[in-house]
Chains A and B, each alone.
Chain A
Amino acid sequence: MSDTLTLPTRRDEAFRYADLAALEPLWPLATQEIRVAAGEAGALALVLDGTNADARDLSIVLEDGASFDLRLLNAGSAYGRIAVSVTLGKAAKFHLGAAQIAGGDQTAEIVTQVTHAEPDALSTQIVRSVLAGHATGTYLGKVAVARGAIGTDGSQSIRAMLLDRTATANARPELEIYADDVKCAHGCAVGELDPQSLFYLAQRGLPPAQAKKLMLQAFIAEAFVGAADEETLTQAALDALEAIL
């Protein structure tokens, strides 16, 4: 996506909510290319949890019948951006499970472009964001179904929790379909923790931060269910959560 040397502007759809000032010193980004041969399986867990701004660009090509399991934890204490472009061959399978955790004035974003180039491929995307303070969490995700890619199954489940009214969640799942007989679904929800539940937990003795963490645990865990390093990822996410509560 960063095939240009000049820094993008906000007019560029994929950078609409980006922290351009934080991005500038990192530009241009090197694209990490991944190719999975026909019938093979690949997996990657990418964790951004450092203290410096970080931006990654992934390009994944899945040949016919290949599969890929991508897990992202975007939880650094500065700007974090992960852009992923995936092209699926015939009957290929792609799964994304991602969690973004941000507080303070941070911007966290995940931008995906999933192209079903051939028939019968499956893509699933689950993104869970927890945003506190004045943080902004963004998901921009386009699923494109090429002409002739019949039997495509693409889904996007995008949910965000705002811990403070001052935090912002942007979620834009997009579909671009040029084929018939296609099953694409997307769900998008932004919520807040239920104050009644928080009081119930507090009445039993849990301090506010611990009560919130308990309630968010299952929400975040959805991003990492079934991952090879599910436990490590979930624990890293909970540690990041503790830092913003």
Chain B
Amino acid sequence: MLKIENLSAIVADKPILKGLSLTINPGEIHAIMGPNGAGKSTLGYTLGGRPGYDVTGGSVSFAGEDLFALEPHERAAAGLFLGFQYPVEIPGVSFVQFLREAANAQRKVRGEAPLSGGEFLKLAKEKAGLLRMEMDMLKRPVNVGFSGGEKKRAEMVQMGILDPKLAILDETDSGLDIDALRICGEGINAIMRKPDKAVLLITHYQRLLDYVKPDFVHVLAGGRIVRTGGPELALELEEQGYEAVAA
């Protein structure tokens, strides 16, 4: 599904990713852990195509396509979803309108018929219900005045509505209370744990991985994957820290 080969990227003239390789197959859940500033969010942004994150080497194929030949919105339509570490507040734009337009823009690229207002609301209600979020919150401007945890939960509602092939979830667990962590974990499983989908979880803690069990755990340090293992690697990291494990 996703094949990253020897990827290098710079941000503000500074090399951050330095020859990173990672392959994710359909049906797999991968977790990336790593120290602050290692380049985890940079990896997500670079794959998403955020302006200012410039690829200087390597290649990425996604669902059989050259990812970097696609514009950010085309990558989304191809099935790439990026759950933001810091979701953006957009005053004056309601979630409902934004998500309906986004869903239909994606459908258009894929040659599917647009969702009617009624069809969309039914879908949104279902996914909000899955994440136990009040529908009224989706009538508000995008993320404006949402608490940190509510923003993360809203990211998962969006993922449910947009139904991507691959979700890269950047610290979705940070900011969530204990119950919300469980709800989001179960939400991720319900939406993404399918044979034709895959997830890349970026996290600092084992707690999310208790709910969303990864098949592979990677350590990203200094802009590269320095170690890969099974779920036990996360526990080892939690006990011993990065210095001992990734040295």
Report which A residues bind B (CB closer than 8 A).
Answer: 194-197, 199-208, 210-211, 214-215, 217-219
Contacts and interface: CB of A to CB of B under 8 A. Distances in A.
Interface of B: 48-51, 71-73, 75-77, 81-82, 84, 87-88, 90-93, 97-99, 101-103, 105-106, 109, 142, 158, 162
Contacts of A210: 101, 105
25 contacts: A199-B50, A199-B51, A199-B88, A200-B87, A200-B90, A200-B142, A201-B102, A202-B72, A202-B73, A202-B76, A203-B48, A203-B72, A203-B81, A203-B82, A204-B102, A205-B105, A205-B106, A205-B109, A206-B102, A210-B105, A214-B93, A214-B98, A214-B101, A218-B92, A218-B93
A217 B49 CA distance: 25
Contacts, number: 76
Contacts of B102: 201, 204-206
B90 A215 contact: yes
B90 A197 contact: yes
Given A210-B105, A217-B93, A218-B93, A204 B88 contact: no
A210 to B, nearest CB: 6
B111 to A, nearest CB: 14
Nearest to B106: A205
A205 B98 contact: no
A205 B90 contact: no
A217 B92 contact: yes
The interface residues of chain A, by DSSP majority, are classed as helix
Nearest to B107: A205
Contacts of A203: 48-50, 72-73, 75-76, 81-82, 84
Contacts of B99: 204
Contacts of B71: 202, 207-208
Nearest to A216: B92
Contacts of A195: 51
A206 B101 contact: yes
Contacts of A204: 76, 98-99, 102, 158, 162
A208 B76 CA distance: 13
Given A195-B51, A199-B50, A214-B101, A206 B73 contact: yes
A217 B94 CA distance: 11
A205 B92 contact: no
Contacts of B49: 199, 202-203
Nearest to B104: A205
Contacts of B97: 214
Given A201-B98, A201-B102, A207 B73 contact: yes
A59 B129 CA distance: 57
A11 to B, nearest CB: 40
A189 B92 CA distance: 17
Contacts of B93: 214-215, 217-218
B80 to A, nearest CB: 8
B12 to A, nearest CB: 14
